[in-house]
Structure 1
Amino acid sequence: MNKVRYINNNLMIVLFWAFIATILIFQLLAVDEYDLHKAIIYSSMITSTFAIYVHLVLRKVIKRYIQTKRISSLILWVFITAFIASIILTLEDYTIDSFFSQDWNRHKETMLPQFFGMLMATILISGIAYSFELYRHHIETLKATQVLKDSLNDLKVKSIRQQLSPHFTFNILNNLQFLIQKDKNEALKLLSQYSKILRYYVYESQNKAILLNDEIAFLKTYLELEKDRLKDEAQVDVNISIEPNDLKIAPFILSTFVENAFKHLSTKHKWVSVSIQYKGNKLYMNVKNNHDDKINEQPKGMGLEQVKKRLQLIYPDKYILEFDKTNNVFSVQLNIKFE
């Protein structure tokens, strides 16, 4: 990819100077003393000198200024290099005119005006080159900053996953303990489903994004297992309406809210409600559970705080997350906009 970009940049540079040379040829042909042959030679030499000056001399001066930020040094070096380049260009102009006219003394009186003309042209080109180089440096800085930002975000997401991993795993093992104590046969049957959940967590949590349908399937399995674990101890209402699609979502964004609801259930009259719908290009999720104020002063656990950070990193300006605690009912409303 970098090699292709390098080739494309060189091609654009060649085309640019070829365009300048062509324009100069047409301008010279408008002057009576220039024929096509002389115009091509003059244009080629002058354009080549300008190109060498810009790419081999001026760009190095400008890059050095960008690193040091010394404007006085930049002005001094640009003037010196422009002065030298103007002398060379004036000599080239004199040589070409004298060669075609075979009169080496004829054009001496015009050298000084030509020099100042070349100096003005060189300074103008220096200003244009400086603007382009500064713009290029700005773009490269933005790209480098974005790469660093993306890398930092990846590190943050990985760190958050590592923090969530033991929390989720301990809940799974705790649920399995309840099942084994109640009914060994049922525990063996449901153990296979728990294995699927753990396998899903281990492998899918390593991906930046997974299919929304896979996350929903995982969530349904988790809800069924919680229903089996709690039996008649809790009322679990589930309303999930997701049509098959190819949308992708960050893993465990949705399940964390459901897990948190079961973790902070009230000790009496346990109740959990999970509603997930997808309309247009937005996903709507609402999770509610009742809790005991005296036991759970802050039902928002570490898992919710970590998922908030993930949402901020992965879906900036594309999500709405609201918490509400009213009459011993804790509610989470999450909306995610998909592009």
Structure 2
Amino acid sequence: MIVLFWAFIATILIFQLLAVDEYDLPKAITYSSMITGTFAVYVHVVLRKIIKKYIQTKRISSLIFWVFITAIVASTILTIEDYAIDSFLSHDWNKHKETMLPQFFGMLMATILISGIAYSFELYRHHIETLKATQVLKDSLNELEVKSIRQQLSPHFTFNMLNNLQFLIQKDKNEALKLLSQYSKILRYYVYESQNKAILLNDEIAFLKTYLELEKDRLKDEAKVDVDISIEPNSLKIAPFILSTFVENAFKHLSIDSKWTSVFIHYKENQLCMNVQNTYDNKIDSGKNQQGIGLEQVTKRLQLIYPDKHVLEFDKTDSVFSVQLNIKFD
């Protein structure tokens, strides 16, 4: 874009000069090349450094002052250059002296105009760089949070699985092998699938179904677990651990006395709807928020990954904690 811009300026100047009788093509190219080259050096060596400095500090008054000062200096150099070129080409060093002052003001106007264009380009460049830096920061934050989630596979859940395995190995080896197979799928998902920035929605759902089956087997008759999952065939992708975090949170904070949880997930017409409810103990959770670190992290990730495309609501009523999540896919 920079090369094309200066080539355009040089070409326009050549055509202007060719309209004057005393300029032929070689003279017009020589004059245009020198004047355009001086403008380019002024913009890229001097002006851009000043603009960059004061854009970052947002000191507009200082920016205007220094641009005006440098524009005067550049216009003076361009006027002398213009006089020297015209005098050399016409072989008359006294012919153009009386036109130097009008030439100076003409060059000053041109310099200020080009300075304004350079400022616009630099402001646009600064805006793009800021957007890129912000996006890199968001991606880094998202990756760190995913790694954190991956490394925090619930110890409580793991210990329960190991205890169940120990008990089933002695009682029912076939059932123990089945449980071990399901648990290995859970671990594989945490270790491998979570390395990706996005996974298939169907894989996340398959993981949740396996997780829910494990929790049902673990809790047996101690808790009532209602599951309603209906997903249309699709090839959509979703960030890992978005849905599973809410389900894990429900079992983590399950009430001691009245154990009940409900998981409702439907996908239709590019809209994913998820509702997770669980009973919780008021006395135990009165001094701490049900929305722990896991929910804080997933809330931030939703804001980063699906801005303006999701609705997330939490609700506490009658010892029941509820999460409602809607995600709109393009």
SS for the counterpart of 2:266 is strand
Displacement of 1:220 after TM fit? Answer: 1.3
Q: Measure, in 2, the Cα distance between the counterparts of 1:294 and 1:70.
A: 56
Q: 1:91 to 1:269 in 2, by over 3 A?
A: closer
Q: 1:210 to 1:24 in 2, by over 3 A?
A: same
**1 CA distance for matches of 2:61 and 2:264?**
66
String of CA shifts for 1:205-230, please: whole Å, max 9, x gaps. 33332221111111111222233333
Is the CA contact 1:318–1:338 (under 8 Å) kept in the aligned structure 2? yes
Equivalent in the alignment of 2:10 = 21
Distance 2:327 2:21 in 1: 71
Relative to 1, partners in 2 of residues 1:85 and 1:246: Cα closer, same or farther, differing over 3 Å? same
**1:49 shift after superposition:** 1.9
**65-74 or 268-277, which moves further after superposition?**
65-74
Alignment of 1:205-224 (within 5 A): 205-224=194-213
Q: Partners in 1 of 2:257 and 2:304 — Cα distance?
A: 37
One-letter amino acid of the structure 1 residue matched with residue 49 of structure 2: K
2:167 aligned partner: 181
2:229 corresponds to: 240
Query: Is it true that 1:318 corresponds to 2:309 in the alignment?
Result: yes
C-alpha deviation, 1:292, in angstroms: 5.2
1:281-339: CA deviation from partner (whole Å, max 9, x where unpaired) = 11112233445555665793634444334434433333223334444444332222223
Task: Measure the CA separation in 2 of the matches of 1:88 and 1:219.
Answer: 73
How many angstroms apart in 2 are the aligned matches of 1:79 and 1:271? 73
- Greater Cα shift, 288-297 or 250-259: 288-297
Cα gap change, 1:50/1:226 in structure 2, threshold over 3 Å: closer, same or farther? closer
CA distance in 1, matches of 2:127, 2:114: 20
TM-score, normalised relative to structure 2: 0.81
Tell me the distance in 2 between the aligned counterparts of 1:316 and 1:335.
12
Percent of aligned pairs sharing the same letter: 80
- Contact (CA 8 Å) 2:146, 2:194: kept in 1 or not? no
Letter in 1 for 2:209: K
Q: 2:240 aligns with which of 226, 243, 251?
A: 251
Matched residue, 1:334: 325
Q: CA deviation at 1:66?
A: 4.4
Q: Is the 8 A contact 2:142 2:301 kept in 1?
A: no
Amino acid at match of 1:209: A
Relative to structure 1, the CA distance from residue 102 to residue 338 in structure 2 (aligned partners, 3 Å threshold; closer, same or farther) is: same
| Aligned: 1:171 with 2:171 | no
Q: Amino acid of the residue matched to residue 308 of structure 1?
A: T
Q: Which segment is superposed worse, 15-24 or 148-157?
A: 148-157
TM-aligned CA distance change 1:87 to 1:226, over 3 Å? closer
CA RMSD of aligned residues (A): 3.2
In structure 2, the partner of 1:143 is 132
Q: How much has 1:20 moved relative to structure 2?
A: 0.9
Per the alignment, residue 6 of structure 1 pairs with: none
> Any idea what the Cα deviations from partners look like across 1:82-136, whole Å, max 9, x if unmatched?
3443343333333333344333333233233323332333333334333433443
* Residue 275 (structure 1) aligned with residue 264 (structure 2): yes
C-alpha separation in 1, matches of 2:158 and 2:3? 64
Change (3 A) 1:245 1:101: same
How big is each residue's C-alpha offset from its partner over 1:203-262, in whole Å with a ceiling of 9 and x where there is no partner? Answer: 233333222111111111122223333344444332211133222222222223333333
- Give, in whole Å, the separation in 1 of the partners of 2:69 and 2:318: 79
Q: Is the 8 A contact 1:160 1:310 kept in 2?
A: no
SS in 1 for 2:192: helix
Structure 2 alignment gaps of length 5 or more: none
Give the CA deviation at 1:42. 2.2
Alpha-carbon distance, 1:43 to partner: 2.0
SS in 1 for 2:101: helix
Residue 184 of structure 1, CA deviation: 3.4
Size of the aligned set, in residue pairs, is 325
Q: Is the 8 A contact 2:138 2:304 kept in 1?
A: no
* Structure 1 counterpart of 2:32: 43
Pair 1:22–1:248, CA change in 2 (3 A): same
Alpha-carbon distance in 2 for matches of 1:299, 1:335:
22
Paired AA for residue 22 in structure 2: E
How far has the Cα of 1:279 moved from its partner?
A: 0.8
Segment of structure 1 superposing worse, 257-266 or 39-48: 257-266
| Partner residue, 1:88 | 77
Deviation at 1:156, TM superposition (A): 4.1
TM-superposed CA distance for 1:16, in Å, is 1.0
Give the C-alpha shift of residue 19 in structure 1.
0.8
**Residues 1:122 and 2:108 are matched in the alignment:** no
Amino acid at match of 1:130: Y
